[in-house]
Chains A and B, each alone.
Chain A
Amino acid sequence: MNDVINGQMEVVYHKPETLTDTPMHYCPGCGHGAIHRILMEVIDEMGIAEQTVGIAPVGCSVLAYHYMNVDMQEAPHGRASAVATGVRRVLPEKYIYSYQGDGDLAAIGTGETIHTVNRGENILMVFVNNGIYGMTGGQMAPTSLCGMITSTSPYGRDAHHVGYPIKITEMIAQLPGAYYVARHSVHTPAAVRKLKKAFKASFEFQKQKKGTCFIEVVSNCPSGWKMTPIEANAWMEKNMLPYFQPGDIKVPAAMK
């Protein structure tokens, strides 16, 4: 890693082989780029890329297979965990992950999410929660905070009208099939390090066939929230994290 170039500069940071050279389409400051990078870095460092199959969702990360240099399938909206189940059941020895946003996993795909975890499918489910439908232009998501203004809640989310933001991660943690459930973020270097550890632990549990590992990443949407990247991260920390509290939600004894 620390190659010395020209006897002067050394490489301290480089792109993992598990990321392609395709420029990402994500908006400036969006968390997806960092989350992709961390996930693929873990796969690279663990040396499991050749045994890994990923499932991309519908939403902003629909094109994840253009960036992630592993075999991948792109699932219909909400169905990533069902598609992942299909792959998992015919490739029992491979590493399988799904990658979904909040609308995909916690609205249209709620049924698949719950039943996949309930079966304890031996996969890693990555859930990126930024409280908005980014790809379709900033509509209210199942995880939009109360009072949050979006294009379909222009007067702010009214819980009496559309319900409260759903804490699906806490819900699925109740299921016996869930082995390891945690919530993290990527807005600070310290948060990135914690997320990386969680991804790594998830793949290790998967190798031991422990069941579903479910990692929520609370993220931002500068474009949808109509903020600069710095404002978005500050808003996320102030408003999203108190409601979607980071940390371990269900931890196996082996990790305690």
Chain B
Amino acid sequence: MSQIIHDEHPILMKGNEALAEASLRAGLQAYFGYPITPQSEILEYLSEQAPNRKDTVVLQAESEVASINMVYGAAGAGARVMTTSSSPGISLMQEGISYIAAAELPCLIANVQRGGPGLGTIQPSQGDYFQATKGGGHGDYHIVVLAPSSVQEMADFVFDGFRLAEEYRMPTMILSDGALGQMMEKIYLPKDGSLPKSEKPWATVGKPKSRERNYITSLHIEPDKMETINIHLQDKYRKLKKEIRFELTNVEDADIILVAFGLSARICSKVMELARAKGLNVGVFRPITLYPFPYEALASYADPMRMFLTVEMNAGQMVEDVRLAVNGKCPVYFKGRMGGMIPTPEEILLEVEAMAEKQRITNQSAGYL
């Protein structure tokens, strides 16, 4: 990951507004969006700021379907472009995201998740993990998924997101949630104009006589050609592995490792504190890139003397990837709340204590202690 240059002075900002301000500072050229709670502040903030930014167009579309297709057009024309929404709106965008991934265009999408399924609730959730990390739309594709766990990262990941999107020519998603979008924290904003522009020789900007026409399409009728495109995409996804990011806290001596992303990871930090105060060796493994997922790093901490507890605000989605990574080398437990409910550190601590007790009994009967 590249180094982001920040302002010297901090500012108190709401997550959604920090993301919006960071996008302007990242040289956003076009934003298309549609109101939906809990992310409307992004559209509102950008609409207010647009007149001060002559190189940025901000347009409220008639639907999320239109938004993502405007993104498709603007990205194809070479612009640094973003859209944001929340869970039901992101579902509506999936067809367009599949096209953008297939046509290999860069764009940034933020999902400020809310509880589902259906119209659900406006409270925070992590229920769109599968949708974000496994493709979401039709066909074999992935998008880069970054999971912030603070307002600072809501801003920083805009810079990382645009860089990754442009370097790999694929959509990048910031997978946030309603709590991170609405909470206020002290942050250092990335410096205005500090994200370099990238060359886009493939963009449709009008064909000079000196080159062949550029055309952007995801249609390849001949199956052998379409397979070639798929092989190319899969090669790209393999190369993406070098961008894997995760954060480790106290894992080296940990008997129990909490695995959590985004808001859940923040709660787990508190759980770790409480557990350590009770003499339990607990650490936190926080995946930051949810795609590409840090399978190998997780696997390196899996041994029979340890236990993993995956904590998510859903019915158990990332836990499937954690189990894949661990591959049976140690027990993986799951604690989740759904439908917009946020787990408390205390209720997670109860799980941790129960696990620690099981661990103690197992170790005792095995004669380790």
Contacts and interface: CB of A to CB of B under 8 A. Distances in A.
Interface of A: 20, 49-53, 55-56, 62-63, 65, 68-76, 79, 82-91, 94, 111-112, 115
Contact of A115 (B66, B71, B75, B96): B66
A122 to B, nearest CB: 13
A89 B62 contact: no
B73 to A, nearest CB: 3
Given A86-B30, A89-B30, A74 B217 contact: yes
A49 B211 CA distance: 13
Contacts, number: 128
A68 B95 CA distance: 26
A20 B208 CA distance: 15
B171 interface: no
A89 B159 CA distance: 23
Interface string B68-86: 0111111111110100000
Nearest to A74: B217
Interface in B121-171: none
A216 B73 CA distance: 23
Contacts of A90: 29-30, 57, 74, 77-79, 81
B62 A111 contact: yes
B277 interface: no
Given A112-B62, A112-B69, A94 B206 contact: yes
Contact of B69 (A49, A50, A75): A75
A94 B76 CA distance: 14
A85 B70 contact: yes
B74 A87 contact: yes
A9 B340 CA distance: 79
A113 to B, nearest CB: 10
B76 A87 contact: yes
A71 B213 contact: yes
Given A71-B206, A86-B32, A86-B77, A76 B95 contact: yes
B213 A72 contact: yes
Contact of A74 (B65, B66, B79, B219): B219
B26 to A, nearest CB: 16
Interface in B49-103: 57, 59, 61-63, 65-66, 69-79, 81, 95-96, 99
B218 A86 contact: no
Contacts of B78: 90
B70 A86 contact: yes
25 contacts: A50-B209, A51-B206, A52-B207, A62-B219, A71-B205, A71-B206, A71-B207, A72-B213, A73-B72, A73-B73, A73-B77, A74-B215, A75-B69, A76-B95, A82-B70, A83-B69, A84-B73, A85-B70, A88-B73, A89-B74, A91-B77, A94-B205, A112-B69, A115-B62, A115-B66
